[in-house]
Structure 1
Amino acid sequence: MRHPGAARPLLAVAAGVLSGALGAFAASTPVIRPLAHTIGLWALLVALLCAGTTRAVAMTRSTLALVGAVIAFFGLTGFHLSAGKLALWLALAVISGLALGEVSRRIPHPLATATTAGLLVADAARRGWHYPNQIPFLAAFLLIALAALAWRARPLHPRTALFLPLTTALGYAVVAAPDLLEDLIR
């Protein structure tokens, strides 16, 4: 008899592939195009998959989901990537999976919840700064993502808001890093 949790890694891969497919679809759809160029979708995915789990479960789920998302996204968009860029994005998926998994497993702790929220806010702000015409969509996605995060972190601790300015500032540096690394590989 199989253990009831044995299929969960496959569900994490499926969730990642589905989110990567959504990102690929967004790349060719003007209204939702920002989803293809931000990490908010994937940060939210990891938070929802990993909140309240053990370290091993969170690391496994988040890494499998993000690797699946990268493969689906680039496989479905048809972007021509060099081997170096694909390796970079897969490495970033693994590193991000481990880091986000560790943070997300600690949700609903106020600092963990604020870290994820700060990443979401910073991601939307950075994209909106460069593409002001996308601000309405980014704001709508941000509100939905924050509501989903608050639901997952319930009951939401009042101290979460105290950490948000710091985690947003740090999150801005984190969301800028992949583009800087990709520019170095050109």
Structure 2
Amino acid sequence: MTPSTGTSRRPDAARNRAALLEAARAELAENDGPLRLREVARRAGVGQGTLYRHFPTRADLLGALVLDRLEQLVLRLEEAAEVGDGPDLARSLHEFVVAGLETGRDPVFIDVLAGDAEQGTPVGALLDRFDEALATLVEDAQDAGLVSDSLEPTDVLRLLCGVQRAVALAPDLEDLPERYAPALLAALREA
């Protein structure tokens, strides 16, 4: 049982982990630069040894920050992929695109996804599930005429990431994911 996997742990260790995650979120919200681990430990009221026991690397800490959000996105994608062809497929594809665009508002989430997640880590396992479900969804959407046959799942992901960037550039406009989703879906169909 490793400390950074979210498995059961002593109550004080669980409190320390939660405090470290909260401190890391606060540090990222207040500072534009890289996550300062010493400052995270200070904010959490723990020593650096405690920080490194829970999160041996900066990447582990960042991965833990996005793990819940990534899991929700993967679950949504898996649900959409399970719909198969039929009237619910278009709705499921739309909902996944909107959820994907929403993630563009979280730069830590985008940075973690852009990095190389190691095999065997919780983030790596979720990204593997994401890739499998995306491939299934794209194939079903192609069969239904919702996504062009000329596109691979990686193309769909790149286009989604491009529009995510546009969403991230206007954080005050909360309706952008819903407004941009139809344009992206039309582009996927016509590519």
TM-score (norm 1): 0.44
Structure 1 or 2, whichever has the larger Rg, is 2
TM-score (norm 2): 0.44
Structure (1/2) with the larger helix percentage: 1
RCO comparison, higher one (Cα < 8 Å, 6+): 1
